[in-house]
Structure 1
Amino acid sequence: MISLRARFQKSFTRHVLRPRLSPAATVQQQRWWLDKLAGLALLPWGCKTQNVDCDGVPAEWVSVGNVPNSPVLLYLHGGGYCIGSPQSHRNVVARLAKGLGCRALVPDYRLAPEHPFPAPLLDVVQVYRWLLAQGVAPQQIVLAGDSAGGGLALALCMMLRQLGVPLPAALFCISPWVDLSLSCASIEKLADIDPLVEVAWIESLASHYCAGEDPRHPLISPLYGHFDDFPPILIQLGSEEVLRSEVELLHARLQHAGVASRLQVGEGMWHDWPLLGGMMPEADLAIRQAVAFITERLGMEQVNAAFMPAPSIAG
């Protein structure tokens, strides 16, 4: 059974957030609502942000307390490639950065429909190369993202591999959107169960981003790409989210390619639930698990007793 606070957040998501993230609202209205609602979250004490120009791509540094220059968490925000910003995802990024005792960099990449594929991908390639130029070694970079940002993180690794650029040390994806053809079974099966994602909404987002391109292009839908030489990856998935089938298939294909892929399923959880860190214990647990995975991959020590390794949610 999920916690009382999770039940409240689930109801709030269904009755307040979901109606505002729908094709009935313009993309501009959705962006405004997402940033405003995200602003209700209480950030960890001592959270600091700083704007930075990554060779033409704006981004935001996020840190909590005094931290070293590396390692770096490169976090790609979600929002269906059409909405979202460093501001909308500052809560989860700050909590990850606090647990890791490191800086996080969140690109403010271009969004569709004004800038469809491949603009967001080109932007994050630029940011990754900028990080390397700043002297941050790839072995000290963890690439993370949620929803479309998770899909974008996988596409970024594919693009970096094509370009011969060293890949990051690890990947962490929350509810990654990896099939914009919307052909997996759970899209319809769980459409009325997931309190956040309306099928008509993600259909409109996919249309905006693809802009006539084949939605099964591997750099649009990484599910259809290959994963040779990918770094270890942690994937977090809600048992009640519409993307469940494609994420489970992604995990299977990663393992088939020899990638050390770890799938954690939050029972009773929905799309992107770890973004509610500080608001419900299930999200806090997911963040602790992510911190434990990343510290393990980087050989770091746990820097905060509140973020000691937690037992698995499931799987």
Structure 2
Amino acid sequence: MDQITTPRQRRPELEQAFAHLAGLAASADLTGISDPLLQFVAVIRALMPRYGDVGAAPALDGVEVVPVDAGGVPAEWVVAPGADLAHRLVYIHGGGWVGGCPRDYRAIAGTLARLSGAAVLMVDYRLAPEHRFPAGLDDCITAFGWAARHGPDAHRQREHEAQVHLSLVGDSAGGNLAAATCLELVSRGARVPDRLALIAGTLDNQSPPDRTATDDQVATAESLAAATAAYLGPGGDPSDYRVSPVRGPHALLAGFPPTLLQVSAIETLAYDSRNFAALLANAGVRVNLSIWPELPHVWHAFLGLFPEASEALQEIAAFVNRSIDR
């Protein structure tokens, strides 16, 4: 007898998140835009400023935001009361390489700053399609190196680079940029992060056919392909390891620091995280692969809806703090 199956029931909060995101996408003004790729860009730019705006926003009283020039790259320090200014975390935001900015991430950055005790540098890298690969990546590499030498207190004597504990975190396309930044730092013999955390990174942008999702309404195959096309432009090579870090040479991957990968089990990019974790492990890198069930892409932004949002940021905070001798 054939087994009778019933449709999978989503948790109510997941339905609420997906409905919110669908509403934001539908609100994008596409007037006069006929090019499908530019329509995609307009939708992402309409979505990012309010991506996680469901429920009460976290209270960020006392958290200071300080705009800076990070070696020619716009950025902002996000600093909570009592922060250790020699403990720094560079955060690279997502948005399909075409959208997002530090302002959109104030809730995440402020919460992570409080949980970790680190000063968080949000990088405002150049976006595609106005600035295609490798412009955004170059900005991230520059800002990371700058953060090793400069803290949020401009009047304080600069610490020697060896005295600074420096981590790198990125989500989605920002996870791609964080991994690619690390690959480039290793290849140049430059300082690598003490800890690397990748949140649902787009790490295999050749779009293999088995890169599928259980239930993903955000990072779909179509949206990922559009983001990659906007990032690279005509003739771009998605097999370049700076675009698809899963193609990184073994010798470069072996130079990675301890790495945490977080991803939702139901999303398309679980494929990327699982494969990249296996590659790092095979290269002798200490890897934590943290898979969370039934959550939307970069659920960390939904701090007013999912308790797992703050729990995931707490996991990152604990991970980046683990090597610090307090």
Bucket of the pairwise TM-score, normalised by the shorter protein: 0.7 to 0.9
Residues 263, 59 of structure 1: alpha-carbon distance in 2 compared, 3 angstrom cutoff: same
1:27 and 2:4 are equivalent in the alignment: no
Residues 274-285 of structure 1 mapped to structure 2, 5 A cutoff = 274-285=300-311
For 2:291, what is the secondary structure of its paired residue?
Answer: strand
Per the TM alignment, residue 289 of structure 1 is displaced from its structure 2 partner at its CA by 1.4
Aligned to 1:267: 293
1:96 Cα deviation after fit: 0.8
Question: How far has the Cα of 1:7 moved from its partner?
Answer: 4.4
- The equivalent residue for 1:312 is none
Task: Name the counterpart of 1:105.
Answer: 121
Q: Judging changes above 3 Å, is the alpha-carbon distance between structure 1 residues 297 and 2 closer, same or farther for their aligned structure 2 residues?
A: farther
Distance (whole Å) between structure 1 residues aligned to residue 14 and residue 161 of structure 2: 39
Match of 1:137 among 153, 161, 165: 161
1:27, distance to aligned residue in structure 2 (A) = 2.1
SS across alignment from 2:77: strand
- Of 214, 217, 239 in structure 1, the residue corresponding to residue 265 of structure 2 is 239
2:192: which partner in 1? 167
Structure 1 residue runs of 5 or longer lacking an equivalent are: 301-315
For the structure 1 residues 239 and 294, does the alpha-carbon distance in structure 2 shift closer, same or farther, using more than 3 Å as the test?
same
Identify the residue that residue 12 of structure 1 maps to in structure 2.
20
Does 1:91 pair with 2:138? Answer: no
Instruction: Give the equivalent residue in structure 2 for 1:155.
Output: 180
Evaluate the alpha carbon distance shift between residue 261 and residue 127 of structure 1 in structure 2; reply closer, same or farther with a 3 A threshold.
same
What do residues 254-300 of structure 1 show as CA deviations (whole Å, max 9, x unaligned)?
10001101011111123211222243112122112112212213345
Correspondent of 1:182 among 207, 225, 241: 207
Distance in 1, matches of 2:324 and 2:259, equals: 12
Q: Which residue of 1 aligns with 2:5?
A: none
Measure how far apart 1:10 and its partner are.
Answer: 3.8
User: How has the CA–CA distance of structure 1 residues 159 and 114 changed in structure 2, closer, same or farther, with 3 Å as cutoff?
Assistant: same
**Could you report, residue by residue, the CA deviation over 1:23-68 in whole angstroms, capped at 9, with x for unpaired residues?**
5835245324421455774452322211101121100111222423
* 1:224 partnered with 2:250: no
Instruction: Report the Cα distance in structure 2 between the residues aligned to 1:77 and 1:43, rounded to whole angstroms.
Output: 21
Q: Is 1:204 paired with 2:226?
A: yes
Instruction: Tell me if the contact between 2:125 and 2:140 (Cα under 8 Å) persists in the aligned partners.
Output: yes
Tell me, in whole angstroms, the C-alpha distance in 1 between the residues paired with 2:25 and 2:65.
28
Q: Given that residues 71 and 136 in structure 1 are in contact (C-alpha distance below 8 angstroms), is that contact kept between their aligned partners in structure 2?
A: no
- Counterpart code for 1:107: V
- The answer on 1:120 being equivalent to 2:136 is yes
Corresponding residue of 2:217: 195
Whose Rg is larger? 2
User: In 1, are the aligned partners of 2:53 and 2:304 still within 8 Å (CA)?
Assistant: no
Question: Do 2:202 and 2:269's aligned partners in 1 also have CA atoms closer than 8 Å?
Answer: yes
Contact 2:277 2:287 in 1 (8 A): yes
Report the TM-score when normalising by structure 2. Answer: 0.83
Q: Which whole-Å CA distance do the structure 2 matches of 1:245 and 1:203 have between them?
A: 15
Question: Does the 8 A contact of 2:58 with 2:303 survive in 1?
Answer: no
Which runs of no fewer than 5 residues in structure 2 stay unpaired? 1-8, 29-35, 151-158
Q: Name the amino acid aligned to 1:31.
A: R
Task: Note closer, same or farther for the CA distance 1:282–1:87 as it changes in structure 2 (3 Å cut).
Answer: same
